[in-house]
């Protein structure tokens, strides 16, 4: 989660909503990303999506079956769908997102048994640090 927090700080420095993510396989970071929606003017440039794309390129496969995703904020529905589609083994996230969270807060897309894959979830990891970055960002906007 410390690597994901480092990615979130990069987003904060760039004026983006500070969310960071890393994909880990066998103890090695194989994908990393932080929010780049503003810089890229791309609504899909969320930290999770970017980290998953990099991990898939690293492996030469879209199947990330034995990999884990660490992200500083509870994933939205788009990212939760990507997590399921990438066949990630585990999702570890920090802060909860009461407005858009699709893992705990609004719904649980990644563990919906109607889908063809479910993901183990560990939530609230380094929650205060992750939430603190988000609070800092939104205080700067005011």
- Any idea which residues carry the catalytic annotation? 48
Per the CB < 8 A criterion, the answer to whether 25 and 66 are in contact is: yes
CA 42 from chain centre, in angstroms, equals: 16
Q: For residues 25 and 30, give the distance between their C-alpha atoms in angstroms, rounded to a whole number.
A: 7
Burial class (CB in 10 A: 0-12, 13-18, 19+), 23: buried
Q: How many CB atoms lie within 10 A of CB 43?
A: 8
């Amino acid at each position: 989660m410390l690597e994901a927090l480092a990615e979130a700080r990069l987003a904060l420095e760039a004026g983006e909503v500070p969310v960071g993510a890393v994909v880990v396989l066998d103890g090695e970071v194989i994908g990393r990303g932080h929010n780049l929606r503003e810089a890229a003017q791309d609504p899909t440039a969320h930290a999770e999506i970017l980290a998953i794309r990099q991990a898939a390129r690293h492996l030469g496969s879209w199947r990330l079956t034995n990999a884990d995703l660490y992200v500083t904020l509870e994933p939205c529905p788009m990212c939760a769908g990507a997590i399921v589609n990438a066949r990630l083994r585990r999702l570890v996230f920090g802060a909860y997102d009461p407005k858009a969270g699709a893992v705990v807060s609004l719904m649980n897309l990644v563990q919906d048994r109607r889908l063809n894959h479910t993901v183990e979830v560990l939530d609230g990891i380094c929650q205060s640090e992750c939430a603190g970055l988000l609070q800092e960002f939104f205080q700067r906007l005011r």
